[in-house]
Structure 1
Amino acid sequence: MRITTAAVRRALTAATASVALAALVVPGTAAAGPRSSADPTPPTAQGRSADADPAEAPEMADVAARAAAGDGATFTPINPVRVLDTREAIGVPGHVPVGPGGTVTLNLSNAVPANAISVVLNVTGVTGNSGTYITAYPAGYDRPDSSNVNLVPNSARSNAVTVLLGSTGAVNLFNFLGDTHIVADLAGYYQYGSGSLYNAKTPLRILDTRNNGGPIGQRGTRALRVRDFVPATADAVVLNLTGVTPTIGTYVTAYPGGAAKPEVSSLNLVPGQVAPNLVTVPIGKDGNVNLYNHNGSVHLVADLAGYYDTQSGAEFYPSDPFRLVDTRTDPDLGLVGPDEYVYFPLGDVFGGFTAMMFNLTGTEPSAGTYLTAYPLNRGIPFASNLNLAPGETAANLTITAFDSDTTIAVSNRYGYSHMLWDFAGAFGPIVSASS
């Protein structure tokens, strides 16, 4: 049985859900994440368990039922391509920003096969004088009460989005306030049938130019050797890519080694900013991923979250967005202090699953900090997922491996911060491509 019914088309809201326009302030300086082996959160960090009952979430029960029926999707990575830019009349008829309360419909029926059910996009918002948020969701369906990209005035910020396609092969992008230009780059698509399978890893830092190689200069490209960290049958990697303190406003592009540089962006940065984004990139024939910086100089940090493999791995089961953790409203959690973490056991629902996709949002941090998502019983890794400046609200899509008890944790490094986890889907048990 394949899910083409309302059960999946219900999923079919944006796969990354965050807070709406809450506490959006012009950020100061975020913590850039661990720089040396002495810096990770210590193993004596204090943890608190979220007390919600995942068994009561119909969204999770639906994912588990589809996995039992073998109704997962596989992934096809592509060299990133720009499919929407309201500044340049790409994907739309004119050079006009999306107004307050406006929606642009992006038809992807000519960009992906007819059997594609969802797409992976890098969505960037470029604001004027108003802060706003952008929500991605399937065309023809109700807009969810969630956001994918949170923006302060006069800024540009990106976030990865996995969103199911509407019945016409289109997605909607909604802008809340002000006149906002929206850019979207297509990184791949999920479909039933043949494709690549996901393999989650404990986050592994494979690049930090602060410690090795120095910053990447203007129009410079750094080749990152990723083949050494994945099997020969892997065809794409998932990286949490962080830009650290660019000297001027710039963008960074991640693309396959040996390929022509596409006219897309993976990170958009203002001077002095620290900001991450989850990127999915095909592995070049030379075994590399290239990282290009457009303006000034910038440090880059890359943490390997997993890879797609043509022979074995896990299928993906998308879901309606579901608020799994909200420390603002859970009386047993509250603000998460320095070197504290929140963990959530999910074995009752997802026993045997390998990873969870969720949008991680940090809000109201008292100091510059970073949050790290990880499999609880493997210990806090030398990595980061979300970098926050004091008072900032920001989100980043996260794919995190489950530990042996099917538990995930998120730690906070400095000061006090609230965190929100919005469930977007899960990756099932390991299977072989032949099965």
Structure 2
Amino acid sequence: MISAAVVAAVVGLVPAVAQAAGPSAAGASPTTGAGSAPAPAAVEQAAKDALAKDRAAKAGARAGAPKAVAGPGAAPQDPYFELAMGSTAFYGHGVDIAVSVATDLTEGRIVYDIDWGDGRILQSTGDVTQDRLFEHLFAEVGSHRITITATEQTSKRTATIVRDVLVNGSEFVPRTPARLLDTRDGTGAPAAKAVAPYATTRVRIAGSAGIPAGVTAVALNLTVTDATDAGHLIAYASGTPQPTTSNVNFTAGQSVPTLAIVPVGADGYVELANRSGGTVDLIADVTGYFTQSAANGYTSVKPSRIADTRDGRGTARGQVAGQSTFAVQVAGQGGVPAQGVAAVALNVTVTDPKGPGHLTVFPSGGQAPSTSNLNFTTGQTVANAVIVPVGPDGRISLRNGAWAGTDVIVDVTGYYSADSEAAYLPENPKRAYDSRLWGPLAGQQYKSLGMWQPGRRLEAVVLNTTVTDTQGSGHLSVAPDPLDSATVTPTPPDSSVLNWTKGATVSNLVQADIFLTTGIDVWNRGWEPIDLIVDRVGAYDRN
């Protein structure tokens, strides 16, 4: 079994005229895509290194133990037979272990009986001098108790070791949207005060809105508003270096939302950095969190349009009136099961609004929370990724918080359920592609990007996509790359992930399906060239 190194990214844009930062010389080639994973030898070595530490600790303890006084004809040392174990976890559900015995025996055969703690038992035999390597996939994430017994076949000496191992994957716990931070009124902040230029504010995750300690990542809808200068926002785990990337770009006076799946620091906080020369107000709304215990895994689906008020698909035809709410059936639609769905991953677009306002997405059956998912101005087309719990009737609700009407489009990209197998693995920022190194992406053309990593059976990758240097209007689509794309031109999907106008820099989160393939196709659905930046922020690894 192999696994991937921790990778990821978000786009770093300079705080001037909301332009994307200059391309890095270390950027990926136009054909390689995402970051590399450790070779099998590296994974095995990590387990062996852990074994060596355990073996050394036991040898030290043995050397410091009182020795029996040797009598006439006694053996030169006391007999001993100890079992050592090292483990490493690079996967969503799996673990690699290395075991060996330390003994005065110079030869013999060892029988290893391994109880993985999940009802499965493995027996293996090896030489007394050998280190043995084993790998195992668990059905569930979380902590698992492994019991290993080693028995030498001739002498019948035996030793047992019991260890708890924690696999890396996390599963999702949705919650009704709740506001954790609003610097305008002091919610979750020391005071009602805008974030200063090039300053950082902290968002408490653990202990807020019922979120427990120890969560690995959190789904936040971040909104920048009242900006006095152009720049970008960076969200990252507390206690880690600030990335040179970004989650969202903004211009002076603009209100811009984005969904971010952010690793949580060991102290339970995330950091939000204002990378501009002016002040900004920041808002953070939580829709769920990831934890290393059994909850809801992820299943990706082919991007599908399940609601469009322009043509009456999935809802009533005609614009959603101001200050009104409508419901969309998601269970049983667009590849989503009819039962057992806890939350859905969507891309929601507002278009042709007749006035400024915001849109709120929430589970059906309750009141609209005082949160928002999209902000818009008159006539603007804007999209944002959304993760939202599903109501008991299998529907979600969308509220138009403006005073005037607007059209709304809903595309589904995946869902979370107890039966879904893929666990989330947060990754460090990693740039997968930057067309500024290779030339712009022409209108109505696509870019294929490899996302496969050896040793992982990936369900989906989590990306931050950015378009910049746009020479016209258009929208971006992302779809799995067909395995025969080298000989057959792929067909673009009828869904979109972001929209732009001439001269704009726009970002959005994408949870891209790659389960039955090895990469993605990113389509420029405009007629004029754009520069495309794709950063990787995480992945879902299947059982």
Q: Into which bin does the TM-score normalised by the smaller protein fall?
A: 0.7 to 0.9
Residue of structure 1 aligned with 2:91, choices 58, 62, 66: 66
| Larger mean Cα displacement after TM superposition, 193-202 or 121-130 | 121-130
Q: Does 1:269 align with 2:376?
A: yes
Q: Does the 8 A contact of 2:32 with 2:450 survive in 1?
A: no
One-letter amino acid matched to 1:388? W
Inter-CA distance 259–370: structure 2 relative to 1 (3 Å threshold):
same
Residue 423 of structure 2 aligns to a residue in which SS?
Answer: strand
Q: Which runs of 4+ in 1 moved over 4 A?
A: 53-59, 61-64
Structure 1 counterpart of 2:468, which letter? T
> What's the counterpart of residue 91 of structure 1?
188
The question of whether the paired residues in 2 share the 8 Å contact of 1:365 and 1:391 is answered with yes
| Farther off after superposition, 240-249 or 338-347 | 338-347
Can you list the C-alpha shifts for 1:113-149, whole angstroms capped at 9, x where unaligned?
Answer: 1131111100000033311211111112211001111
Measured on the aligned residues, the alpha-carbon RMSD in Å equals 2.4
- Give the 3-state SS of the residue equivalent to 1:228 in structure 2: coil
Q: Which runs of 5+ in 1 are unaligned?
A: 1-6, 27-48
Residue 403 of structure 1, CA deviation: 5.4
Q: Which structure is richer in relative contact order (CA contacts within 8 A, separation 6 or more)?
A: 1
| C-alpha separation in 2, matches of 1:214 and 1:21 | 40
Q: Amino acid of the residue matched to residue 411 of structure 2?
A: D
Separation (CA, whole Å) in 2 of partners of 1:294 and 1:300: 12
CA distance in 1, matches of 2:455, 2:257: 30
Find out whether 1:417 has 2:530 as its counterpart: yes
Determine helix, strand or coil for the equivalent of 1:328.
Answer: helix
Separation in 2, partners of 1:308, 1:22:
36
* 1:211 aligned residue (311, 329, 354): 311
Partner residue of 1:337? 442
Question: Tell me, which stretches of 5 or more residues in structure 2 are unaligned?
Answer: 20-28, 44-87, 96-166, 483-489
* CA separation of 1:405 and 1:109: change in aligned 2, threshold 3 A: closer
Q: Which residue of 1 aligns with 2:98?
A: none
Q: d(CA) in 1 for partners of 2:231 and 2:37? A: 29
SS at structure 2 position matched to 1:66? coil
- One-letter code of the match for 2:434? D
The AA in structure 2 aligned to 1:208 is D
TM-aligned CA distance change 1:258 to 1:327, over 3 Å: same
Match of 1:147 among 246, 263, 266: 246
Residues 189 and 16 of structure 1: CA distance in aligned 2, closer, same or farther (over 3 Å): farther
Instruction: Tell me which residue corresponds to 1:119.
Output: 218
Deviates more, 1:50-59 or 1:244-253: 50-59
**Bigger mean CA offset, 377-386 vs 310-319:** 377-386
Aligned to 1:167: 266
Contact 1:21 1:150 (C-alpha < 8 Å) held by counterparts = no
What aligned pairs does 1:193-208 form with structure 2 within 5 A after superposition?
193-208=293-308
In structure 2, the residue corresponding to 1:184 is in which secondary structure? strand
Matched, 1:356 2:464: no
Deviations 1:71-123 (A, max 9, x none): 21100000000010001110013211001011111112212111311111000
Contact 2:464 2:537 in 1 (8 A): yes
2:410 to 283, 302, 317: 302
Take 2:196 and 2:219, find their aligned partners in 1: how far apart are those partners? 24
1:81 aligns with 2:178: yes
Q: How many residues align?
A: 394
Q: Counterparts of 1:57 and 1:405 in 2: how far apart (Å)?
A: 17
The 8 Å contact of residues 137 and 171 in structure 1, kept in 2 or not, is answered as: yes
* Deviation of the 1:281 alpha carbon: 0.6
Matched residue, 2:285 = 185
Aligned to 1:239: 346
Give the alignment's TM-score, normalised by structure 1: 0.85
**Residue 352 (structure 1) shift:** 2.5
Cα distance in 2 for residues equivalent to 1:120 and 1:310:
18
Q: Which residue of 2 aligns with 1:289?
A: 396
Greater Rg by CA: 2
- Within the candidate set 452, 455, 463, 1:347 is matched to 452
